[in-house]
Amino acid sequence: MAELDRTQQHAPAPKDWTYAPAPESRDVVRIAERYSNFVGGEWVEPSGTYATISPSSEEPLATVAQGTDADVDAAVVAARDAFANGWSELSGSERAKYLFRIARILQERSREFAVLESLNGGKPIKESRDVDLPLAAAHFFYYAGWADKLEYAFPNRRPRPVGVAGQIIPWNFPLLMLAWKVAPALACGNTVVLKPAETTPLTALLFCDVLRQADLPAGVVNIVTGDGRTGAALVEHDGVDKIAFTGSTEVGKAIQRRLAGTGKRLTLELGGKAANIVFDDSALDQAVEGIVNGIYFNQGHVCCAGSRLFVQESIYEPLVEKLKRRLTTLRVGDPLDKNTDVGAINSAMQLEKIRSLVQSGVDEGAEIYQPPCRLPEKGYWFAPTVFTNVAQSYRIAQEEIFGPVLSVLTFRTPDEAVEKANNTPYGLSAGVWTEKGSRILWMAQRMRAGVVWANTFNRFDPTSPFGGYKESGFGREGGRHGLEPYLTFDGEGRHDA
């Protein structure tokens, strides 16, 4: 308990706030020692394995399959079989029942999933509990609602499923990205082979248990774990009709090159370097909360993170001062502690990448600020970081760091803000802080970004389409738009079962 300051007669306040640990119990989830691939509704013994660890303690959590070409092939065959023998012909209302069931089971088991997500990925439990899990369930609920209304969503176009979808997801929102991909695919009558990221396979594997509980027909969803080689095998497989990928721009480009001319459909959700633009008429304290949420949420492992802060010159000093003060109150540490704001960096490799980009910022002449905080000895950690004195040409203003690192730049006029904000090869998201509605609309029309938030940041909703411009990819996930990549229409080629 913090020592009380009794120098004042009334309302004694602690001299410094310390938090007693409030760890969430790990007992709620049972992790198996070893997991296989989930193919055709069965656990299929793999030929190779690797250990998945907890990034906050480096302790091994389980052994999982390193999927081979043969494993991917078996999964695609199972998915094709399930597509041809029932799933694609099932009525929309029947498919919806399964999706509703999955959504409800996720809700019921949300604590178990949240703990596992934080253990395997390093994100704070309050985020996995309050953001990842509710949103994952919401995606299944939302797309369950569309399953029997596709004719109304796309009138006179005779929507039909595409076939077998190969889905490759990253490690920053493991279960949520699974939900973004699996829910619309199933709602439209497709079957799925999904590859989770190498470092975060465990919630996808627990999800197989949900599929069994929901009595989903065998082969409709197949999960093959492994590293990039497993993803590449899925991309290359001739039996896959569509690839949905979320990850780095580099791998996205390689996939696009690989698929050119094959007739396979492709959606890519790639990197970002979002501008968060604060005008001098905005509510500063509210903006500071938005900036913090924009870049330190999920350790900055967010494709749409507000990693470039543009501040109108007249408020630069007070805003940066408030921001630095706010950073001193962020608690970095054990992801399972309910007080934690910033958890562990997902992997040693990602930590190395963050360190080297931060070093480049220092070397190029930016001024670094990190609040005093004691980082745990074991595990992968990086203190919340702010760079000021940043020039647009610096690597920290150009490249996706994917860590808790903010670059602060300035502007004078709205035109200049637009020009600087759009000066990036990416175009995934942006934020605008101002009290003027007309300025919000003016800015939103000019920002080359798939999502523009106004007086908020990092808000997600299954009804709202999400996706990029330029090197942030193409195709939309979420909303009615998110159905289209999983449907084929009259006049388009169809891969018949």
State the nearest-atom distance from the C-beta of 199 to ligand NDP, in Å. 6
How many residues touch ligand NDP under the rule CB under 6 A: the total is 26
Regarding 55 and contact with ligand NDP (CB under 6 A), the answer is no
Near ligand NDP by CB under 6 A: residue from 120, 222, 246, 340: 246
Near ligand NDP by CB under 6 A: residue from 95, 195, 237, 273: 195
In this complex, which beta carbon is closest to ligand NDP, that of residue 61 or of residue 144? 61
Q: Choose one: 19-27, 81-89, 125-133, 195-203; the region binding ligand NDP (CB under 6 A).
A: 195-203
Q: Which residues are catalytic?
A: 269, 303
Q: Measured at CB, which residue is nearest to ligand NDP?
A: 231
Regarding 297 and contact with ligand NDP (CB under 6 A), the answer is no
Regarding 227 and contact with ligand NDP (CB under 6 A), the answer is yes
Regarding 299 and contact with ligand NDP (CB under 6 A), the answer is no
In this complex, which beta carbon is closest to ligand NDP, that of residue 251 or of residue 451? 251
Near ligand NDP by CB under 6 A: residue from 235, 268, 344, 447: 235
Tell me the per-residue interface mask from 133 to 172 with ligand NDP, x by CB under 6 A, - otherwise: -----------------------------------xxxxx
State the nearest-atom distance from the C-beta of 141 to ligand NDP, in Å. 23
Contacts (CB under 6 A) with ligand NDP, residues 314-353: 350, 353
In this complex, which beta carbon is closest to ligand NDP, that of residue 424 or of residue 488? 424
Near ligand NDP by CB under 6 A: residue from 124, 166, 174, 271: 271
Regarding 402 and contact with ligand NDP (CB under 6 A), the answer is yes
Near ligand NDP by CB under 6 A: residue from 67, 121, 166, 231: 231
State the nearest-atom distance from the C-beta of 434 to ligand NDP, in Å. 27
Q: How far apart are CA 37 and CA 50, in angstroms?
A: 13
Nearest to 124 by CA among 404, 462, 357, 447: 404
Regarding 221 and contact with ligand NDP (CB under 6 A), the answer is no
Regarding 266 and contact with ligand NDP (CB under 6 A), the answer is no
Regarding 225 and contact with ligand NDP (CB under 6 A), the answer is no
Near ligand NDP by CB under 6 A: residue from 185, 270, 358, 417: 270
Binding positions for ligand NDP, rule: CB under 6 A: 168-172, 195, 197-198, 227-228, 231-232, 235, 246-248, 251, 254-255, 270-271, 303, 350, 353, 400, 402
